[in-house]
Amino acid sequence: MGREGAKELWGLDLCTKQIETARNVLHDQQAEVTLIESPMEENPGIPSSYFDIVYSIYALGWTTNLSLTFSNIYSYLKPGGVFIFSWEHPLHDRLKYEQEQSTFIFNKSYVNEGPEYNEGWQNLAVIHHRKLSTYINALIEAGFMIEKVIDDVCLPDEQSENPARWYSTQKANLVPATFIIKASKS
């Protein structure tokens, strides 16, 4: 964004290491850089109606309070501002490869929401499972207008060698790995 002419870049993350990494990556930006270590459920002093664009790439699913996070993001945006985010598609971690049968099975309920250990992180991380409709409805409740939802799959011509991998082309042939939502503040 800085190379494309943004005057300011702001970043928010819960993890000290991620803030340090961002600081190293952004050290030579022409834009003013502000990095804040804080949970996204809290407003650590970010100005209201300030930003043209807010985006989150594979981070929003870590929030413990989706409604509060969306309300914060809505407050940060100027009227007409755009919010774009991506996260793992909620069907993706419901599907598991069974070696014995050489097939995929649904091993968890899609409709049961809440905190759970994430198998992709070998049960070291707790993530809140949410349905896609939960994300969409929480955006609407926060005041956003949804412009686009993408959960299409673009697959390479050749298949990955191991269908049991967390992200495999065989699994992506059945369910999308990611979704992206674009919404705006009215």
Q: Give pLDDT tens digits along the chain (186 positions).
A: 888 999 999 999 999 999 999 999 999 998 999 999 999 999 999 999 999 999 999 999 999 999 999 999 999 999 999 999 999 999 999 999 999 999 999 999 999 999 998 777 776 788 999 999 999 999 999 999 999 999 987 877 777 678 988 888 899 999 999 999 999 998
What is the rounded CA–CA span in Å between residue 60 and residue 63? Answer: 6
CATH label, 38-185, candidates 3.40.50.150, 3.30.110.60, 3.40.50.620, 3.90.1150.10: 3.40.50.150
pTM: 0.93
CB atoms inside a 10 Å sphere around CB 82: 17
The residue ranges of every structural domain in the chain are: 38-185
> 2 and 30 in contact (C-beta within 8 Å)?
yes
Quick one: which of 84, 69, 81 has its CA closest to 142?
Answer: 69
Q: Which are the contacts of 125, defined by CB distance < 8 A and separation ≥ 6?
A: 117, 118
Give the C-alpha separation, 3 to 67, whole Å. Answer: 32
How far apart are the C-alpha atoms of 118 and 139, rounded to whole Å? 24
Q: What are phi and psi of 113, to 5 degrees?
A: -105, 160
C-alpha 2/C-alpha 11 separation (Å) is 12
Residue range 98-135, pLDDT digits in tens = 999 999 999 999 999 999 987 777 767 889 999 999 99
Residue 33: Cβ within 10 Å count: 16
The conformation of residue 154, written as its DSSP 8-state character, comes to -
User: Which amino acid, residue 78?
Assistant: K
Phi, psi values for residue 39, rounded to 5°: -70, 145
Contact by Cβ (8 Å): 54, 78: no
* 3-class SS of residue 50: coil
